[in-house]
């Protein structure tokens, strides 16, 4: 492999896997650098778990090659068993052995090491994950967040080349989930661990990791930083995965898209008079009782505290516009004015 590959923890080359008629993973190529944390995101059934299982070696690929560091673990006539891949796994249900204490769960992955070294690794990981007080407890006596930390400690203790996490926070309730996620990511970063985290939650994917990989029907739709995927989606699918856009139909000609709510400068590779759709984020529409480009009628208001969600009717538009605003509108107001920020719209 080339020099540049020395920096790679994982390389997938054209990996595919079918189940009967379902192409679960289709020609996936992906490089992950050492120390990088990647969120693999997509709707249910898009192939995330299958890809993770192929990397772990508990599922086989039909074709393609996989390298862990510079070692090929999957390819024509090559298959390295899961135990020999040096991979850590954190499952959605944590998969702790119920008859073993937290301590013995963590020691399970250290069995092959000499006693003294195993003890030292155990002490180190327990301290880093902050679970000294839990080590003699059995899994059923631990809260979800505590079980998650024990599972993470078990996965990290053997110092794996890469940690694979399949929906690791989805069993935790909202508040706890955010805290455990932030702590886990900080820990992975401080240990310079390479990790892939699978999630179906768009917000979680954006807030976790160095890179986001969006999958659909077994393929990668787009990969890049969270800002790339959210702010510069490469397709309507990617845009809508991360934001509930308002979609306004329009007609394109000479660098301008004309819609019922105005004309917007857009450079599109389309023939004159082609139909195109303007994508507007709910937070990119300014609302005011008396100041703005267009009149709108308030159909619904849902107050969320910091922001208010509005549903507005605008003449000429079939679908109402959804707006998220921090503006405090007077009680009972039914007629407002709106302005769309032209530099914040997307077109597909
Ligand atoms: N062992 C199997 N036998 C048959 N079909 C399978 C098998 N495993 C996965 N599939 C199919 O492959 C596709 C991808 O499944 P996969 O579990 O990888 O998706 P996913 O993105 O992880 O979904 P989820 O978020 O629901 O876990 C789905 O259509 C699924 O039904």
Distance of CA 19 to the CA centre of its chain: 25
Asked if residues 215 and 199 have their Cβ atoms less than 8 Å apart, the reply is no
Ligand 1 in reach of 42 Cβ (< 6 A)? yes
- Report how far residue 74's alpha carbon sits from residue 221's, in angstroms, rounded to the nearest whole number: 24
Ligand 1 atom nearest to 50, measured from its CA: 18
Ligand 1 in reach of 3 Cβ (< 6 A)? no
- Report how far residue 142's alpha carbon sits from residue 50's, in angstroms, rounded to the nearest whole number: 29
- Report how far residue 297's alpha carbon sits from residue 212's, in angstroms, rounded to the nearest whole number: 38
Ligand 1 atom nearest to 51, measured from its CA: 18
CATH annotation of 246-347: 2.40.50.140
In this prediction, residue 91 carries a pLDDT of 83
Nearest CA to ligand 1 atom 20: 45
In this prediction, residue 4 carries a pLDDT of 58
Ligand 1 in reach of 218 Cβ (< 6 A)? no
Cα(309) to centroid(ligand 1), Å: 36
In this prediction, residue 6 carries a pLDDT of 63
Phi (first) and psi of residue 234, to 5 degrees: -90, 0
Domain span(s) for CATH 3.40.50.300 in the chain? 3-241
Nearest CA to ligand 1 atom 16: 47
Phi (first) and psi of residue 3, to 5 degrees: -60, -45
Ligand 1 in reach of 46 Cβ (< 6 A)? yes
pTM: 0.89
Alpha helices for 210-270 (secondary structure H): 226-231, 236-242
In this prediction, residue 3 carries a pLDDT of 45
Q: Look at residues 219, 250, 215, 248 and name the one whose alpha carbon lies nearest to residue 229.
A: 215
Give kind and range of the element (H or E) at residue 48. helix 48-56
ipTM over 0.85 threshold: yes
In this prediction, residue 80 carries a pLDDT of 95
Third-level CATH fold of 3-241: Rossmann fold (3.40.50)
To 10 degrees, the CA torsion angle through 80, 82, 84, 85? 90
Task: Give the model confidence (pLDDT) of 239-251 as tens digits.
Answer: 999 999 999 999 9
Domain span(s) for CATH 2.40.50.140 in the chain? 246-347
Asked if residues 248 and 280 have their Cβ atoms less than 8 Å apart, the reply is yes
Total Cβ atoms within 10 A of residue 189: 14
Tokens of 319: 């679908």
Determine the Cα angle at 185 with ends 184 and 187, to 5°: 65
Ligand 1 atom nearest to 53, measured from its CA: 18
Ligand 1 atom nearest to 218, measured from its CA: 14
Which stretches of 103-255 are assigned E, i.e. beta strand? 162-166, 195-199, 211-216, 219-224, 246-253
- Report how far residue 337's alpha carbon sits from residue 289's, in angstroms, rounded to the nearest whole number: 6
Q: Render each residue's pLDDT in the chain as its tens digit; 348 residues.
A: 444 556 899 999 999 999 999 999 999 999 999 999 999 999 999 999 999 999 999 999 999 999 999 999 999 989 999 989 999 998 887 789 999 999 999 999 898 899 999 999 999 999 888 899 999 999 999 988 889 889 999 999 998 999 999 988 888 888 788 888 888 898 888 888 999 999 999 999 999 889 999 999 999 999 999 999 999 999 999 999 999 999 999 999 999 999 999 999 988 888 999 999 999 999 999 999 999 999 999 999 999 999 999 999 999 999 999 999 999 999 999 999 999 988 889 999
- Report how far residue 230's alpha carbon sits from residue 283's, in angstroms, rounded to the nearest whole number: 13
- Report how far residue 220's alpha carbon sits from residue 325's, in angstroms, rounded to the nearest whole number: 33
- Report how far residue 214's alpha carbon sits from residue 315's, in angstroms, rounded to the nearest whole number: 36
Asked if residues 40 and 198 have their Cβ atoms less than 8 Å apart, the reply is yes
Nearest CA to ligand 1 atom 26: 44
Cα(16) to centroid(ligand 1), Å: 13
């Amino acid at each position: 492999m080339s020099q540049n590959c020395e920096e790679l923890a994982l390389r997938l080359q054209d990996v595919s896997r079918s189940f009967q008629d379902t192409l679960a993973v289709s020609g996936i190529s992906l490089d992950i650098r050492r120390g990088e944390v990647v969120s693999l995101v997509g709707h249910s059934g898009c192939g995330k778990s299958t890809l993770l299982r192929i990397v772990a070696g508990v599922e086989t690929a039909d074709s393609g090659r996989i390298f862990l560091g510079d070692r090929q673990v999957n390819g024509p006539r090559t298959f390295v068993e899961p135990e020999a891949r040096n991979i850590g796994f954190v499952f959605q249900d944590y998969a702790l052995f119920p008859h073993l204490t937290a301590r013995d769960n963590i020691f399970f992955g250290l069995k092959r090491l000499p006693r003294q070294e195993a003890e030292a690794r155990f002490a180190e990981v327990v301290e880093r994950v902050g679970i000294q007080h839990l080590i003699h407890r059995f899994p059923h006596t631990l809260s979800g967040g505590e079980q998650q930390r024990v599972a993470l400690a078990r996965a990290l203790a053997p110092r794996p080349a890469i940690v694979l996490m399949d929906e690791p926070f989805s069993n935790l309730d909202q508040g706890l989930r955010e805290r455990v996620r932030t702590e886990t990511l900080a820990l992975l970063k401080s240990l310079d661990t390479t990790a892939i985290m699978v999630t179906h939650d768009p917000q979680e994917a954006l807030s976790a990791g160095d890179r986001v990989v969006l999958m659909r029907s077994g393929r990668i739709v787009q990969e890049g930083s969270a800002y790339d995927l959210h702010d510069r989606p490469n397709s309507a699918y990617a845009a809508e995965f991360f934001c509930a856009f308002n979609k306004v139909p329009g007609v394109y000609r000479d660098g301008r898209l004309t819609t019922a709510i105005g004309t917007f400068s857009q450079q599109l590779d389309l023939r004159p008079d082609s139909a195109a759709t303007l994508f507007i984020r709910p937070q990119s529409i300014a609302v005011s009782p008396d100041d703005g480009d267009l009149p709108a009628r308030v159909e619904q208001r849902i107050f969320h505290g910091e922001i208010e969600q509005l549903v507005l009717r605008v003449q000429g538009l079939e679908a109402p516009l959804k707006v998220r605003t921090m503006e405090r509108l007077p009680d009972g107001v039914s007629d407002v004015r709106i302005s769309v920020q032209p530099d914040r719209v997307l077109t597909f």
